[in-house]
Chains A and B, each alone.
Chain A
């Protein structure tokens, strides 16, 4: 019993083992530690997802911040369905589209214009030129859903099954789109 009690008291250690869903439930209760852990677990996935939509790192960063704030404030609204990442992606996607609308409204330019070719110039953080070039290529030639699948799998390390669940698409679709996207990239980069 004592051992059990000691295990329960060992909070920080426990957060690292908790699933995202459980963390999210704790966040809903106002647990900042849980939120911090959830952030560390999902930040790359969230950023990849957001970047795959907006294709612009500064915007992606801004939206990412807003998305996590939203997750913090609205965590109580999450219904446990075993897909916390899908819920978080939904929040992020809505914020992305809201951003598009704002920018379109502000400057009266199209979404395509907004999702244009700025990524290359604004990626000083990427140390390797080859990394930058590959990322630029991916953002340039792949479609939105292909970008999401590729980035989530490659950079966030999500499995295809998880991606399919998060994006709410069939697993076969996720697989075939991933393969097609990678072939596109290979061909493009070989030219």
Chain B
């Protein structure tokens, strides 16, 4: 029915229906309106209307303004908050331990957010010092300078431990380098020598507990923990004793007892020694890097002229005055052995008429070559390096007796892609004649010297060779390890 009606409705009909419907619906409320209600005066009504309307307008405006202001405020607070958060967030923590232990918290722009003295000595040096907001290098300079001023770094043995804590290894490495450079330059300015140990670490709860337990800085705790782990002779029971020591005393212990320094991954030690006389060049540089997991260890580089405060027990270095003839370098850590640099390998050695010809198995480079020749009793003979190229060299030697075994050590030689090293070999002179006979000999090679006494005592394998067969290619002899010198003796 309704549907039928729908189809029939025109505009006029719709209007009529609507009119009818509203006419039916419209109530009569006139009688229910209480006309005894007091009417407002014109003023009151006006006041009410304007008050209300102006109130409404005002409220609307206030509401709109409030909303806009709130939005702006949110924006400003948001942007400012992000900026402040980024700049107020501690990105790295740099610990400096001498005996005073200071911790510098810096943001990502290397601005100091907090400089915290961790012990009483540190409070002394930090007194009247407000480092907040300063650049890290300025803060480091100030701290080190204050340590010098207060006598914690004097012209005697000093040791500084720098610990950089950052989750990013690359960032920590860069920061470490910067801080160490800053410290070195500050030390130089103050004409003070110091061993600088630096390490980069990550936060570990165990170390933190250790630091809290012994009331030492996180960096020192980490350093001592690594020291203990690296040296079997030490145990955690030594922590009591070690934690009470200053870094200088710890460095002395390390030197005297030949402790290995470093973590399981990579440890080197950096010694920056500058003095008034020789302030230009740090004597030794080693960096302690404890990159916990992934990074490949680096080998320690030691410059030959360094007397070096001891870092590794395995490392021995001749005094600066000694000619670099017998320079010995040993792998300093187990890790380093794994990545030992390329070695110079001697193929074979000929001796003929006062000339020792050393043939190398690997290509070599030369720089200021030196040589020394000794007999078994340790007597040194006059010798010099003659002709040389990338595959061989001549050693001109005089005064040798026949039928004896001699040892030579070549210096200033390096593998094609490697660092300078030494090569050692032995040869024998023929019994016939006065030592000038044709004759031969032997010897392999060696580049890196034996690192242990045990290895040095290993009897070298002996290969004999007939002298008359010298025209034939001499037998080659390869020692299986570079540390095991082999000799070829000739049957006369």
Contact = CB atoms under 8 A, between A and B. Distances in A.
Given A134-B17, A134-B18, A189-B9, A75 B45 contact: yes
A155 B19 contact: yes
A110 interface: no
A28 B22 CA distance: 29
Nearest to A44: B26
A68 B30 contact: yes
B interface, size bucket: 35 or more
B156 interface: no
Interface in B23-75: 23-30, 32-35, 37-42, 44-46, 48-49
A93 to B, nearest CB: 13
Nearest to B34: A69
Contacts, number: 137
B23 A44 contact: yes
B18 A135 contact: yes
**Is the contact region of chain B dominated by helix, strand, or loop, or is it mixed?**
helix
Nearest to A128: B20
Given A72-B33, A74-B48, A125 B39 contact: no
Interface string A55-76: 0010001001100110011111
Given A65-B33, A69-B37, A186-B11, A154 B48 contact: no
A76 to B, nearest CB: 4
Contact of A130 (B5, B10, B39): B5
Given A36-B30, A48-B22, A189-B9, A133 B2 contact: yes
B33 A47 contact: no
A138 interface: yes
A4 to B, nearest CB: 29
B337 interface: no
Interface string A169-191: 00000000000001001100111
Given A47-B25, A126-B24, A77 B18 contact: no
Interface of A: 28, 30, 32, 35-36, 39-40, 43-44, 47-48, 51, 57, 61, 64-65, 68-69, 72-78, 123, 125-135, 138, 150-151, 154-156, 182, 185-186, 189-191
Given A126-B20, A134-B9, A155-B22, 7 more contacts: A28-B42, A72-B37, A74-B49, A76-B42, A123-B21, A128-B17, A131-B20
7 nearest A-B residue pairs (beta carbon):
A77-B45, A155-B22, A131-B21, A134-B17, A135-B21, A76-B42, A65-B29
